[in-house]
Amino acid sequence: MHPTFAWGALNQTIALWTGVIPAILSLTGAVVVLATAVAIWLNPATRSNLRRQSLQMLLCVQAMSLIYSSAYLVQTFITGPTKWCDVVTIFTLFASNFIEFVVMLIPVNLQLVLVHQVNTDGFLRYYLLAPLGAAIITALPGAVQSVWGWDPETRMCWIYITEPHVRISWLVGAWYTWLLISMVVSTASATIVLLYLVFHTRSRNRELAIGEGNSGITSNNGVNVKRVASRIMLYPLVLITANCVSAIGNFTIIRAGGIKSEGTYVLCVISGIMYGLVPGAYALIALFVDPCFSRALRVLLARRTPVEKTSTEGKPRIQIEITTQVVSNIMDAVHRKETRLEGRQSTEKAKEERREEHRVVQIVPMEHMAERLSNESEGSETQDMYAVLELARL
């Protein structure tokens, strides 16, 4: 501890703006994502890209981010005790928990669709109502007990209780328990999906090699799985990074009895940055990582820039199928649909048709693949499978 450390006007200003600037960026990102989603929805050529449930959940996260970032901005700008402290803190807690719960369910939905072959069409209402109810339940006790307010230890609107044991109990019960659950569940689901991709893809490759008589079929699945992993793991990675940093900062400040050293001050500043940046991280995932959203955005931009469109004429955009497991799942769904329409067929004939279908889908124009999957799927299950295929493209 540095006994000469004193909380002065400069420290207050730095702590203020290091929280405000990230919150403004997150608020701007949420507005951009939602405005882009409206433009995509209004365009018939791109509207089908918004049918995927995981993307709709991510858009709901952005809508709630408007409340979270706005409340956090007000919470940061308040510099002294006021009755508005508990109000904005309750809204911040409510919006934060809702966002964490919905993000947790995105890998869960992918696990249900891809690993367990569950048709999750229509689950969206449950994916949103359950986090909404849980967020209200976790925010109510502190509001009823008037726990939230001006925090003399962090010098911001947070929790007004200073007694360490009671303070920790409320923080754990109203906040960190649910954050821990979100981190564990999202990480477990993402890991299960990745393991399923690895083992099932290797098995499918061996089957294809045997079925084709080792005719030279090759795959880039080693690189492919790494690319899928780097994207699927983004959700739990954001949860773990932000929540662990904030937890370390809060509990260290509690143990120190407040911000009484340069170290605790730095942790306070870093926690403020992370709190403000979290919604912005999900906005970046929607804009640049989510395959359906980014593809629809490219189509919108291409329609508005005819010069760029003509410059690429004669250069067909090819989608190479490198995720054998995902495509085989899609082909299984298509095959079952054809079987119901055409009646029962012999086993040998069905296998031959599936083998031909797989060869056809290995190299398909990107825009044709999107159109086929949109027409074949009444809901969002195939869209979710296609999303993983898009995530893994070269």
Tell me if 106 is assigned to some domain.
yes
pLDDT at 384: 52
Q: What is the DSSP string of 117-153?
A: ----TT-HHHHHHHHHHHHHHHHHHHHHTT-EEEETT
Cα radius of gyration rounded to whole Å, the chain: 25
368 contacts 374 by C-beta, under 8 angstroms? no
Let me know whether 283 and 330 are in one domain.
Answer: no
Tell me if 381 is assigned to some domain.
yes
89 contacts 97 by C-beta, under 8 angstroms? no
pLDDT at 230: 66
Tell me if 121 is assigned to some domain.
yes
Let me know whether 16 and 164 are in one domain.
Answer: yes
Query: Which residue, of 238, 271, 301, is where some domain finishes?
Result: 301
Let me know whether 286 and 319 are in one domain.
Answer: no
Let me know whether 69 and 194 are in one domain.
Answer: yes
Let me know whether 130 and 210 are in one domain.
Answer: yes
Let me know whether 135 and 247 are in one domain.
Answer: yes
21 contacts 78 by C-beta, under 8 angstroms? no
Let me know whether 280 and 332 are in one domain.
Answer: no
Tell me if 204 is assigned to some domain.
yes
Query: Number of folded domains in the chain?
Result: 2
pLDDT at 225: 58
Query: Which residue, of 247, 273, 301, is where some domain finishes?
Result: 301
Let me know whether 272 and 384 are in one domain.
Answer: no
Q: What is the DSSP string of 256-320?
A: HTSS-SHHHHHHHHHHHHHHHHHHHHHHHHHHHT-HHHHHHHHHHHHHH-HHHHHHTTT---EEE
Residue 218, Cβ neighbours under 10 Å: how many?
A: 8
Let me know whether 332 and 231 are in one domain.
Answer: no
Let me know whether 327 and 292 are in one domain.
Answer: no
Let me know whether 113 and 139 are in one domain.
Answer: yes
Parallel, antiparallel or unpaired: strands 156-159 and 148-151: antiparallel
Residues of the chain short of pLDDT 50, as ranges, are 1-2, 214-223, 306-335, 337-338, 341, 344-345, 354-382, 386, 389-394
What is the model's pTM? 0.75
Let me know whether 342 and 244 are in one domain.
Answer: no
Full domain range(s) for residue 168: 9-301
Residue 337 CA to residue 145 CA, distance in Å, equals 56
The residue assigned the tokens 């919604």 is: 279
CATH of the domain at 199: 1.20.1070.10
Tell me if 156 is assigned to some domain.
yes
Tell me if 3 is assigned to some domain.
no
pLDDT at 300: 83
Strand partners, 148: 159
Tell me if 285 is assigned to some domain.
yes
HSE (side-chain half, CA atoms, 13 Å) at 362: 12
pLDDT at 362: 40
Query: Which residue, of 272, 301, 330, is where some domain finishes?
Result: 301
